[in-house]
Amino acid sequence: MKELDFGKKTDYNIELARIVDSVKKLRNLKAGKYTLWNEAAEWHMKYSNLRGVSSLTLTITLSPTGCDWARQGGCTMCGEFEGAFKKNDLLHNPQFHIAQFVSAVSNPKVWETSKSENKSISWIRINQEGNYTNPHEMNIEAQDKILQLAIRLKGVKRVTIESRPQYLSEKVVSHLAEIFRDSNVELEIGMGLEAENDVIRNICINKQGTKQQFIDTVNLLKRYNILPLAYIILKPPFLTEQEAIDEAVATAHFAAKIGFSRISFEPMSIHQYTLVDLLKETGDYSPPWLWSVIEVAKRCSDISSIFGIGGVGYYPIPSEYTHNFCTEKKDCNKRIIEAIKKYNTSRSISVFKNIDCSCKGYWLQECLKEDCALKDRINRQLDNVDRIIDNYSPAPIPINSLVRRQRIIAGNSQ
């Protein structure tokens, strides 16, 4: 594997300023989304691999109030701000998020599904597309109450929330651990590690933060018996297909090495009002091929027990997901998605063995493409962005993907 060396983060100060300028501009174009108090922004059910057992999982997205980091520009691929309610005054009232959580877990469709599947809901994943433990995004009383309610639901074995390490001080972590102490329910906290390489994480993605922060937070969570989950992205902007594959493989192994107990590998999807969407418009970006997803999974087979493939359950709905740019066989993408679901259950890369299609040759050609030095490439692509940003108008989301707001998925995820 070619070692990725893009220099130091500080070599890119000018490029970073340009990137932040663009993402801020895009965030300001969208006023935000109105969502009801008594309904979560979205919920869905699916089967997930919980310690090797396929388990019924309820994922709830509480209406985001707007990630603090996104307010300052935020990550180049993240469209959460577009779907955020952005009303800070709601934070003073804990009932806002509590009511949404209760409405999702008490929805008759949820319990009818549990009954018809003859399984209890074992896993509750709570997203609000930001940082659960940041009091500027979620009222502290709501944070506690929702977790207290979640662990009391019959059959629940694990609850997952998300936060950047910046909001996981020892005080916060010990308090969370106390809530779960006598419950027999595991708490898992997902963190967006995204990329091991400092330049890719901090410049291409604009995630900011150090690797040491992740190392320290993983150790802290483990000390309090909380499971650390890493989100890893496939194909951040400005990278070639091959660089993206190599980076994802290196990041997954780094995450395993520093002690993450689970990895959710997220092939990039395209979200409106993001820099990635603009780069797609200029022709400088396309989402990763599904062959790349398989390639990364194969090269991570040594850590497959903790390596799951996600990237399909986003809020708001993306305009494009990872796919093969295939004109040869109509069901090429479908077959691979089905194989990925099987992989998530079995964690065996043998599910990819008999999958083939002539478009694989085009993917291999794509992997051979090289580009100039990263710095030059970023500037060239941002010049293209500057030419269209003032007239940016995102492509409409396909109508049939908008029905995901409340749905039961008969599939397996990571």
Binding-site ranges for ligand SF4 (CB under 6 A): 67, 69-70, 74-75, 78, 80, 129-130, 164, 192
Residue 312 interacts with which of Zn ion, ligand SF4, none, CB < 5 to 8 Å by class: none
Question: What is the nearest approach in angstroms of ligand SF4 to the Cβ of residue 401?
Answer: 20
Whether the CB-CB separation of 57 and 45 falls below 8 Å is answered with: yes
For residues 354 and 358, give the distance between their C-alpha atoms in angstroms, rounded to a whole number. Answer: 13
Return the structure tokens found at 397.
Answer: 């989301």
Among 226-234, 300-308, 354-362, 386-394, which window interacts with Zn ion (CB under 5 A)?
354-362
Question: What is the nearest approach in angstroms of ligand SF4 to the Cβ of residue 62?
Answer: 13
Nearer to ligand SF4, 84 or 339 (CB): 84
Q: Among 324, 381, 412, 413, which residue sits at the site for Zn ion (rule: CB under 5 A)?
A: 324
Exposed/middle/buried for residue 356 (C-beta within 10 Å: 0-12, 13-18, 19+): exposed
The DSSP call for residue 3 is P
332 binds Zn ion, rule: CB under 5 A: yes
Among 221, 195, 219, which residue's Cα sits nearest to residue 209?
Answer: 195
Q: Among 297, 317, 326, 336, which residue sits at the site for Zn ion (rule: CB under 5 A)?
A: 326
For residues 253 and 213, give the distance between their C-alpha atoms in angstroms, rounded to a whole number. Answer: 17
Residue 332 interacts with which of Zn ion, ligand SF4, none, CB < 5 to 8 Å by class: Zn ion
Nearer to ligand SF4, 192 or 267 (CB): 192
Nearer to Zn ion, 52 or 361 (CB): 361
Task: Give the amino acid at 208.
Answer: Q
Question: What is the nearest approach in angstroms of Zn ion to the Cβ of residue 355?
Answer: 10
16 binds Zn ion, rule: CB under 5 A: no
Give the CA distances from residue 109 to residues 44, 124, 313, in Å, rounded to whole numbers and listed in that order: 10, 15, 19
Q: In what order do the strands lie in the sheet with 406-413?
A: 307-309, 262-267, 227-234, 186-194, 158-162, 123-127, 53-61, 42-50, 406-413
Residue 82 interacts with which of Zn ion, ligand SF4, none, CB < 5 to 8 Å by class: none
Backbone angles phi, psi at 42, to 5 degrees: -170, 155
Cα-atom radius of gyration of the chain, to the nearest Å?
A: 20
Residue 331 interacts with which of Zn ion, ligand SF4, none, CB < 5 to 8 Å by class: none
Nearer to ligand SF4, 74 or 237 (CB): 74
For residues 298 and 249, give the distance between their C-alpha atoms in angstroms, rounded to a whole number. Answer: 9
Nearer to Zn ion, 178 or 331 (CB): 331
Nearer to ligand SF4, 130 or 288 (CB): 130
Residue 67 interacts with which of ligand SF4, Zn ion, none, CB < 5 to 8 Å by class: ligand SF4
293 binds Zn ion, rule: CB under 5 A: no
Task: Give the amino acid at 329.
Answer: K
Question: What is the nearest approach in angstroms of ligand SF4 to the Cβ of residue 58?
Answer: 21
Residue 326 interacts with which of Zn ion, ligand SF4, none, CB < 5 to 8 Å by class: Zn ion
Q: Among 357, 378, 382, 385, which residue sits at the site for Zn ion (rule: CB under 5 A)?
A: 357
**With helix as H, strand as E and coil as C, how does 198-266 read?**
HHHHHHHCCCCCCHHHHHHHHHHHHHCCCEEEEEEEECCCCCCHHHHHHHHHHHHHHHHHCCCCEEEEE
**DSSP of 342-371:** HHHHH--GGGGTT---THHHHHHHHHH---
248 binds Zn ion, rule: CB under 5 A: no
Nearer to Zn ion, 41 or 357 (CB): 357
Binding residues (CB under 5 A) for Zn ion: these are: 324, 326, 328, 332, 357, 359
